[in-house]
C-alpha cells in the first residue's frame, strides 16, 4: 500500500484502522496485543538480569523549569527539596502518549469526538489511565541509524518500511504481534551535527507515513523511538505524520527514548530481543505521562 493522495485518504486509513477491533468501549488500543502468553514469552528473555535505561536525561532545557529550594534545617536533620515542572509532549522528555493525544477530523481512537472528550479538567476518553499498569512485552531493537552513511537519519531521507525490514534482518530478529519495537534513528548524533536545528520549526528527520502500514501489518503493540515523524510529512492537510498511528491504530507511542545504550548492550549480550517495560506516571486524565522505559536482558 502507498500513502495516499488526498483523494484516497479515507479509504487508506479505513484499511489501517483498529476501531472496534477490541470492542467499541476499548481505550487501550494495541496494548491489547500483549497477552498473558506474550508477557510470559518476554519474561523468558531475562537471562543475565542486565538492565538498560532507555530514558533521556532530564536537565536544564526549554521543556523544563527547575527550581531547587534552599536547604532546610529540622532540628538535627537537614532536608533539601526539588521541584520539576515538565512540558513532556514534544522532542525532549521521555514519555508515553495517551490515545487522546492526537485526533483525526475531530475524532479520537474508536470514534469518540475530540472536543467533547478533552477538557481543562482532563480527558474523559482515552486518557493515560488505561496504561497505568505499564507496557511490558518482548522488545526488539531495530537500529536504522547504523546503516546510514552519516550515522543518523537525515532530513529528506526518512525511515521507510524497507529500512525497518532491513534493520530487523541485520539484527537477526523477526518482529511479531505484540512486540515493542525500539527504534534508533540517531537523534542524538543528528542534533550534534546540526546544533542550529530547532524542534517544531526546522524540517525534522524521522519516519515516513508509510510506516503506519508496517506497524499494522506486524501488529506491534508499541514503538519506542528517538526520532519521531518526518516533518513536514509531504502530505498537505494532514497536520501530523506517523503520530496518526494514535487515532487510526490505537498504537502506544513511547516518545523521546534514548536507544544509544542499547547498541553496546545488544552487541555484548549477542541478541537484539529483551524484556521491555515502561510505566507512565499516574497522572489521572492526562494526555500522556513521563515514563522510564527499560530493556532487561
pLDDT (mean) for 52-59:
92
> Which three three-digit cell numbers place residue 13?
486509513
* pLDDT of the residue at 6: 59
Angle between helices 211-218 and 161-171 (to 10 degrees): 50
Determine which helix (DSSP H) or strand (DSSP E) holds 187, and give its type and residue range. helix 187-193
Percent of the chain's residues with pLDDT above 70: 93
> Which grid cell is 244?
496518526
Closest among 274, 250, 248 to 261, alpha carbons compared: 274
Residue 12: strand pairing partners: none
HSE of 254 in the Cβ direction (CA atoms, 13 Å)?
A: 34
Domain-by-domain residue ranges, the chain? Answer: 6-56+94-296, 57-93
Class of domain 6-56+94-296: alpha beta
How do residues 186-217 score in pLDDT, each as one tens digit? 999 999 999 999 988 999 999 999 999 999 99
The helix (run of H) or strand (run of E) holding residue 78 is strand 77-79
Q: What is the pLDDT of residue 4?
A: 66
Q: What percentage of the chain carries pLDDT values higher than 90? A: 80
Q: Does the structure show a pLDDT above 80 at 71? A: no
Q: In this predicted model, what pLDDT tens digit does every residue of 101-142 receive, in sequence order?
A: 999 999 999 999 999 999 999 999 999 999 999 999 999 999
**What's the distance, CA 209 to chain centroid?**
15
Amino acid at each position: 500500500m502507498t500513502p495516499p493522495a488526498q483523494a484516497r485518504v479515507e479509504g487508506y486509513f479505513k484499511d489501517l484502522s483498529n476501531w472496534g477491533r477490541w470492542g467499541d468501549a476499548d481505550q487501550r488500543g494495541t496494548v491489547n496485543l500483549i497477552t498473558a502468553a506474550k508477557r510470559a514469552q518476554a519474561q523468558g528473555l531475562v537471562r543475565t538480569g542486565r538492565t538498560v535505561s532507555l530514558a533521556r536525561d532530564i536537565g536544564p532545557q526549554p521543556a523544563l523549569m527547575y527550581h531547587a529550594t534552599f536547604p532546610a534545617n529540622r532540628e538535627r536533620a537537614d532536608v533539601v527539596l526539588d521541584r520539576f515542572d515538565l512540558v513532556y509532549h514534544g522532542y525532549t522528555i521521555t514519555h508515553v502518549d495517551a490515545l487522546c493525544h492526537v485526533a483525526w477530523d475531530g475524532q479520537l481512537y474508536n470514534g469518540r469526538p475530540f472536543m467533547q472528550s478533552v477538557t481543562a479538567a482532563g480527558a474523559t476518553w482515552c486518557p493515560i489511565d488505561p496504561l497505568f499498569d505499564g507496557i511490558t512485552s518482548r522488545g526488539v531493537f531495530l537500529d536504522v541509524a547504523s546503516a546510514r552513511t552519516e550515522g543518523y537519519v537525515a532530513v529528506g531521507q526518512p525511515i521507510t518500511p524497507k529500512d525497518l525490514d532491513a534493520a530487523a534482518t541485520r539484527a537477526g530478529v523477526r518482529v511479531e504481534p505484540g512486540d515493542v519495537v525500539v527504534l534508533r534513528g540517531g537523534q542524538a548524533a543528528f542534533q550534534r551535527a546540526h546544533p542550529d536545528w530547532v524542534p517544531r520549526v526546522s524540517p525534522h528527520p524521522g519516519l515516513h507515513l508509510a510506516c503506519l502500514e508496517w506497524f499494522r501489518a506486524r501488529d506491534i503493540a508499541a514503538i519506542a523511538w528517538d526520532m519521531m515523524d518526518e516533518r513536514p510529512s509531504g502530505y498537505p492537510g494532514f497536520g501530523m505524520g506517523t503520530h496518526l498511528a494514535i487515532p487510526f491504530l490505537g498504537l502506544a507511542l513511547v516518545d523521546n527514548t534514548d536507544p544509544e545504550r542499547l547498541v553496546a548492550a545488544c552487541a555484548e549480550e549477542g541478541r537484539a530481543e529483551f524484556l521491555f517495560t515502561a510505566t507512565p506516571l499516574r497522572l489521572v486524565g492526562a494526555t500522556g505521562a513521563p515514563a522510564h522505559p527499560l530493556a532487561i536482558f
